[in-house]
Every structure is written in structure tokens, then in C-alpha cells.
Amino acid sequence: MAKAEALFGEGAGIVIGASKHLDETERRGLSIEIMSHEAVDTSAIEGERLDRDSVQSSIRRHLGMATDHRRSSPAEAGIAEMMVDLYQHLPGALEEPVLMNWHRQLMNGRTDFKDVGRYRTHDDPMQIVSGAIYEPKVHFEAPPSKQVGTEMARLMSWLEQSGPRGSTPLPPVTRAGIAHLWFESIHPFEDGNGRVGRAIIEKVLAQGLSAPIITGMSGTLLKYRKAYYQALEDGSHGLEITDWLLWFATKAVEAQKYTLAQVEFIMNKSRLIDSLRGQLNPRQEKALLRLFAAGLDGFTGGLSAAKYMSITDAPPATATRDLNGLSDMGALVRTGERKSTRYHLNIPMGGIPAIRLSDIL
């Protein structure tokens, strides 16, 4: 794990250093972007689809910023509040009241659970099950509810001892990997354990850095969702967790590279906007802002003339003229011909390579 820890520490330094080149508005925008992605992606891992714009609007509202007053569902408002709480107290100690507060926020609007903001109390086994109801496959069974308080006290004590100021400090990736697996193995809440567990990852990783930043693990874990669940299951069956920690480390390094790419995207966006100042008509400006809002991954398949007309309400001839103008200015890069013509922002986009086990050993 030594190389993985070194790569993560080096990457964190690059992200922190690059972020210093952003102005306050850009830094705030980056934080909102990362929080909204994390909220949507951690929910998607659990099979819950949230609207990113609604989540982002709710995050801005919790931060006391101007919003479009978009209506958010209880789930969207709850995960947004949890992300803001995580972000605003990122380097702080991870204590039991923090977990309870996160759980209350996550369960916003839920009336189907009795144990909200507290550990589970039901007598039924807490099992992770798949397959048909008449022939279920039990992947894992957590400790019974009556043992949860004791098990969580052990975890919280270990987190204190293994922290940067503890008696036996551990490096951040190793500590976060152990903490996540341990928490998921206890499965202390009636629901929401995965989302709380991934918030724990972010907090523990941040505690080990010179400046608190969100790594953004959920997007990478969503990308490898099936492997993530399998790695958790394999790691929960015994005390030998080396394979889990190595798998987790590859994803932590990969997630960090994506976050760095987001910082660079914002820097490149600022440079592009500065180079175009005074040259754009209102339609072109509106379309570019919409492309920038799509973030690092951009529009799926690129911007077509039809999409441009939908965004700007421009007629076909005007859309074609506007797009050609944006291409001539160097704002967009044109690919394809005729009906297959697509336009892309003329800045580096996406394409984060997968981190393999051999890269960290």
C-alpha cells in the first residue's frame, strides 16, 4: 500500500495546488459541482435516481446562495443537506452524533422506518440478500441489533486512535478502506448504510490531507458498482482484507485523478471564456454556458444543430451560422459531416484512465 498512499498524497497536493489558481467564485462552483455529483452518484449506487439540477439547487440553498428555486424531492433535499454538512465539517472528528445527523438527513421524508437518526433496533437479522424470494442468496449477515452499539463503539474508538492525532495513526487510504469495510460489516442503520459509509470515506480521507478536499469516490465506485459490491462481500468474510484494501486504493487514486480533471476543466473554461469576451451573441453565450454546465463529461454524443436550436430557439439557418462562428472562434471543435456533424468544447474533456493494481504496487 506504500505506493498507493504516496500516489494519493502526491495527487492531493496537485489538486490543492491547482485549486489555488481558482478565484473564490470558481472554488465555490467546484465544491458545489463535486458535492452534487457525489450526492447523485452515491444514491445511484443504491439504485435511487436523483435529478442533478435539483440536488445542486438544494445544495446552493443550504449554502445560503442564490438558486433558481427549483423544487427538490425529500430525498434530493436530504442528501444535499448531508453533503453540505460533510463539506462544511470535513476535517472535523467523526463522532456518533455526526453519523446520527447524517442518517436523519438521508431519511428526510421517509415514514417507513422507525429507527431514524439512531441505530437499528429490530429483532430480524440484517442480511444482504439477492435472488428470488423463494430461493434467496444471503451474501452477508450483519451483527444482531443488540450488538450494534458495542460494535460501533469499537469502530469509533479505533477511528480516534488511528487518526492523524491518535496513538497509532494510519495513512489516509488504508484508514478509509478499513473504516468503510468495518462500518458496512456492522450495517448499523435500518437503511442508508451505503450512503453514510461512503460519506465516512470522504471524511476519513480528508482528515489525512494537509487541506480538506472531497475526493469524490462515489462516481468511481458507481462506475465499478458490481465489482465494488463483490469486493465488499469478499472483504467481509474474514480478517484478511489485503485484497479489499488494494482494490479500494486503486479506486481512491482514480477518483482523485477525476477530481483533478474537474479543477483543470474549470481553469480551462475560464481561459476560454476570457478569450471569447465580446465576441459572442446572446444565443452563442447561452449555448456555451449550457455546455459548460454539463461538466467534464460533456453532452453525450456532442452538440448537434438540433440541440443548439432546442437550447437557443434559433431557426436552422441561424443555428448553423452560430455554430460555424463558434467553430471559427476556436470555442468549439467540429466533427463529422452533414447529419452526423457534432460540436465539442475546445478544451480537454473526460477520459480518466482506469487505475490498475499494477499501478499501485
Does the annotation list 17 as a binding residue? no
Does the annotation list 108 as a binding residue? no
Does the annotation list 195 as a binding residue? yes
Does the annotation list 229 as a binding residue? yes
C-alpha cell at 263: 479543477
Q: What is the largest CA-CA distance in the chain?
A: 70
Residue 157's CB is within 10 A of a number of other CB atoms, namely 11
Contacts of the segment 291-296: beta carbons below 8 A, 24+ positions apart: 291/345, 292/345, 295/33, 295/37, 295/262, 295/265, 296/258, 296/261, 296/262, 296/265, 296/349, 296/350
d(CA 151, CA 175): 17
Does the annotation list 350 as a binding residue? no
Does the annotation list 268 as a binding residue? no
Give 354's contacts (C-beta < 8 A, 6+ positions apart). 254
Does the annotation list 84 as a binding residue? no
Annotated active-site residue in 122, 180, 187, 344: 187
Q: Which of 147, 158, 232 is nearest to 193 (CA)?
A: 232
Does the annotation list 119 as a binding residue? no
DSSP conformation class of 72? -
**Phi, psi dihedral angles at 166 (to 5 degrees):** -85, 175
Q: Is 187 a catalytic residue?
A: yes
Site of grid cell 458496512: 184
Give the residue numbers of the binding site for ATP: 191-198, 228-229
Catalytic machinery residues: 187
Give the residue numbers of the binding site: 191-198, 228-229
